[in-house]
């Protein structure tokens, strides 16, 4: 089955700085990679996703890059704000389900 590794597990940045979270996956057949943001006590919310026919996708302050050869993808958040503080999960599809990374707890320090 798929193995999705996510790093780092915790990340603290100053407000206004950038944050980068990285994930690797093992199944070369995976072709869809979403990122979810989960605030305390809430369900995960999709923030951005990328498909394997694209190398990079951007949505305002959030971007995702994908390297299919190396089997890794990254989330980039620029100009971080305190409301970006949350747990972020990457995921990769394989077979009939998604495999989630172990999560990154991001803290943005005002």
Partner 1 sequence: DAMVIQNPRYQVTQFGKPVTLSCSQTLNHNVMYWYQQKSSQAPKLLFHYYDKDFNNEADTPDNFQSRRPNTSFCFLDIRSPGLGDAAMYLCATSTLVRDTQYFGPGTRLTVL
Q: Give residues in contact with partner 1 (CB under 8 A).
A: 31-32, 34, 36, 41-46, 49, 89, 93, 96-98, 100-103
- Judged by CB, which is closer to partner 1: 89, or 108? 89
Q: How far is the CB of 29 from partner 1 (least distance, A)?
A: 10
Q: How far is the CB of 9 from partner 1 (least distance, A)?
A: 9
Q: How far is the CB of 48 from partner 1 (least distance, A)?
A: 11
In the three-class reduction of DSSP (H, G, I as helix; E, B as strand; rest coil), residue 79 is classed as coil
The whole-angstrom separation of Cα 88 and Cα 34 is: 11
DSSP assignment of 20-67: EEEEE---TT--EEEEEEE-TTS--EEEEEEETT-SEEEETTEEEEEE
Around Cβ 72, how many Cβ atoms within 10 Å?
Answer: 16
- Judged by CB, which is closer to partner 1: 46, or 54? 46
- Judged by CB, which is closer to partner 1: 25, or 89? 89
Q: List Cβ neighbours of 97 (8 Å cut-off, separation of 6 or more).
A: none
Q: How far is the CB of 26 from partner 1 (least distance, A)?
A: 16
């Amino acid at each position: 089955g798929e193995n999705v590794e996510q790093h780092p597990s915790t990340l603290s940045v100053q407000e206004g700085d950038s944050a980068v979270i990285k994930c690797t996956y093992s199944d070369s057949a995976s072709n869809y990679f979403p990122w979810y943001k989960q605030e305390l006590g809430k369900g995960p919310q999709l923030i951005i996703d990328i498909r394997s026919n694209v190398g990079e996708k951007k949505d305002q302050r959030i971007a995702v890059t994908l390297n299919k050869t190396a089997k890794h993808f990254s989330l980039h958040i620029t100009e971080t704000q305190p409301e970006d503080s949350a747990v972020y999960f990457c995921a990769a599809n394989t077979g009939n389900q998604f495999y989630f990374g172990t999560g990154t707890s991001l803290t943005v320090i005002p």
